[in-house]
Every structure is written in C-alpha cells, then in structure tokens.
Copies of this chain bind each other. A is one copy, B any other.
Amino acid sequence: EPRYCLSLTNNKLFVISMCIAMIILFGVFVRYNEESDTRWIEHRRRKNISTNLENDFYYRYPSFQDVHVMIFVGFGFLMTFLKRYSFGGVGFNFLIAAFGIQWALLMQGWFHYLDDDGKIKIGVENLINADFCVAGCLIAYGACLGKVSPVQLMVLTLFGVTLFAVEEYIILELLHAKDPGGSMVIHTFGAYYGLTISWVLYRPMLSQSKHLQGSVYHSDVFAMIGTLFLWMYWPSFNSAIADHGDGQHRAVINTYLALAASVLTTFAISSISQKHGKLDMVHIQNATLAGGVAMGTASEFMITPYGSLIVGFCSSIISTFGYIFLTPFMEKTLKIQDTCGIHNLHAMPGVIGGIVGAITAASGGYQAAGLFVAIAFGLVGGALVGGILKLPIWGDPADANCFDDEVYWEVPEDEDENMLSSHPNMNHARGMPDA
C-alpha cells in the first residue's frame, strides 16, 4: 500500500517542512518595523516624539496578551470537554495556533504591511492581527474536533489563514466596512469554513465512536477554564484594534454588557428547555459567549448600554435553542457533523453581529456586503479545502477511532483505561498502520 507510506511520510515530514519554510520566508520577507527596531530612537527624534510611552507597544501589549490567552487557553480548554480527546483538544489547538500565527504574519503582511523595500515590517499590532486571523481557523477546528488528523488541521489552517487574509482585505480595505471584533471577518467566515469542511468530510458511520462523544465530569470542568477566559477577556478582543480613547472604552463596555446578558439568558433558556429544568453544561460552556461574538462588529458603535444587553439576550436565546434543536437537525438532515456546535456559537451570533452592524452603521450597505463576502468565502473556501482534505492521504482516524486520543498520542495507562478506550488493536488512523 504505497498510499499508506506516503501518508506516514507526509505526517512526519509535513510539520518539519513547514518549520523550515517559515524560516526561509521570514528570512526573505520579515523585518522589524520602526517602533521595534533600533531606528526607533532616530524615528522619535525625527517625529519629535517626547516619550517612549508613545511607542505603540505600550498602547497595545496588554490587549494583545488578553487576546493571546483567549487563543491558547480559551479556545484550547474549551475543546477539552470530550472524555478522551482532551490532549487533542488543547494540544492540536496549540499546534495550529502556533503555526497559524507565523503564516498569518506573512499573509497579512503581504496584504497590509508591505513596505517600499518589499519587506513586511512587524510590530505588536501584527501580533494581535495574527491572533485574530488564527481564531477563524480554531473556530473551524471546533466543527472537525476529533475527526481529523493533525496534518489535516495544518492544511485547514494553511488555507484558512490564506482565505482569511483575502476576505479581510476585501471587507476592511475595499468595502471599508467596520468589524473590530470580527463578527463577520472572524466568526462568520470561520464558522462557515469549518461547517462546509465538516459537510464534505461527512462520516455516515460516526456512531461507531458514540461511546466517546460525550464528556466526563472533570473534562467539563476543564472546559469551563476555556469558557471563563474567553468570557472575561472578550472585551479586550473586541476593543484591541478599536479607535483609541472613547472607541476602545465603549467597545469594552458594550461587550461586557452583552456578555453579562448572555450568561443570564443562557441559564434561563437551558433550564426552561430541559424536561426536569436541569442545566446543560454544553449550553453554559458555549452560549454564554454568544454576546461577545454578536458584539464584534458594532462594539464601538453608540448602540447604548441597553442595546448591548438586547444583543446579548437575543444572541444567547438563538444560540441555546440552536444547541437544542438545530445541531441534531443539521446532523440528521443536512449531514453536517459539528462537534462543538460552532454553528450555534459562531455562525448564527456572527451573522447577528453582522446584521446589527449593518443596521447601526452609517454605511449599512457596505456592512451587509461585507457579511455576504464573509459567508461566501467560508462556503466556497470550505468546499475547496474540504475536497483536498477528503483525499485519502492525510491519516485521518477511522470512524471507530474518532474522538480518541489514543490514535495520535501516547496516552498514560490509568485506572479508567479499560472502561473508556476502544479496543487496543483498533487504535490506528486510517492510512497510518502500526509499523
């Protein structure tokens, strides 16, 4: 079976070749900008800047760190909820985010930060934008969680970042739409990109790994670490690249209020919808964040404090009902298997955010066009990349081994092993034999 050997080689060499490619591309293209270079001192003198505090670093680094925590701990731990895929949840999130930020620095650099000398000049703002760009791919990962190989995730990220850089350029630079927290650019695009990939990769026999598709008690507590860090730092996410002064200030207040309303609403709807009035951890872990997603476009608009509460209220109602009714419907009827329910947390609240932006912005038509572009890039891009990922060369897990860390990780043998893991001689990826 030469295909297997190819796959095996692929898996092992793909990542290392990406390392080396990044070094070469950075060597050719990437340099410090005038605020991170020793030329800063002469730049200050030339521009008559009185203090080092005017270096962009001091404006943006705290926001950057909050966003960074959201990307690595927030997304990472939110995806640890499965009983036997916590290593893959937090670990592959780590892998593709660290890969994605390098590729994003290049892609966004070529589109936005190319200097006269043909070099990309980077500073702290680039680091924030790279985190934003990667967020789209991590959302897409949420739909595919447990069903794809790490190399497939690398490919998903490679193309995802590329598509992101283009749609972002069209929406923000050509259409001049506003989207500081990325309701459209990040959430809508990322969600439809991931959902379409998951649709192309549909697995009719996924019920073979049904016993691994739930959580255990402590994996749900781990996921709450992700939820809370996302929830707490979301005001930083939506304000990180907002206008200085009242713009950033208002973006924080609006996002904070929308998120507070989301929590209350999610608890209410979750309790109302269950037959014994019990709460569902899936809702609490996810729908409490819908207000942050939906406030991404309009975060710095004058939508008033109660307007923010209404946005959080509506988006969490739709998000929670999505988990209850839409996810099962999509899986059965539309053949879309959405592990984390990103349709409920990112797609619908993202579209709501885009619509809120179109209604409240002066240039509503361009905002609406932006939303359309984000959806189109997600759907078309997802179909293309899904087709590539369907090739039988990427070492994805067999249906019976989905949601199982055993396939890609050395898992410690512990007391639960015999109860939880599947048959030991079945733990290998498709196209990746033990040898």
Q: Which residues does A use to contact B, with CB under 8 Å?
A: 8, 11-12, 15-16, 18-20, 22-24, 26-27, 30-32, 35-41, 44, 52-53, 55-57, 61-62, 65-66, 68-69, 72-73, 76-77, 80, 83-84, 86-87, 90-91, 94-95, 98-99, 101-102, 122-124, 127, 150, 214-222, 224-225, 228-229, 231-233, 236, 244-246, 248-250, 252-253, 256-257, 259-265, 267-269, 271-272, 274, 276-281, 284, 288, 302, 304-306, 309-310, 313, 408-416, 419-420, 428, 432, 434
Interface centre among A31, A53, A420 (most CB of B within 10 A): A53
Contacting residues, chain B, for A214 (C-beta < 8 A): 412-413
Across the interface, A264 reaches (CB within 8 A) one of B15, B233, B272, namely B15
A217-B414, A253-B123, A253-B127 known; A30 vs B246 contact (CB < 8 Å): no
Contacting residues, chain B, for A101 (C-beta < 8 A): 260
How far apart are the CA atoms of A124 and B416 in the complex, in Å?
Answer: 47
Q: Are B86 and A217 in contact (CB under 8 A)?
A: yes
A8-B277, A36-B253, A80-B221 known; A228 vs B18 contact (CB < 8 Å): no
How far apart are the CA atoms of A194 and B181 in the complex, in Å?
Answer: 39
Contacting residues, chain B, for A305 (C-beta < 8 A): 26, 30-32, 122
CB-based nearest B residue for A55: B245
Interface centre among A41, A102, A122, A276 (most CB of B within 10 A): A276
A221-B86, A278-B409 known; A249 vs B26 contact (CB < 8 Å): no
A294 to chain B, nearest CB (A): 15
What are 18 inter-chain pairs, A to B, with CB distance below 8 A?
A22-B309, A27-B306, A30-B306, A36-B249, A55-B244, A57-B249, A57-B252, A72-B232, A95-B264, A98-B288, A102-B264, A124-B253, A150-B271, A150-B279, A274-B410, A278-B408, A279-B408, A415-B420
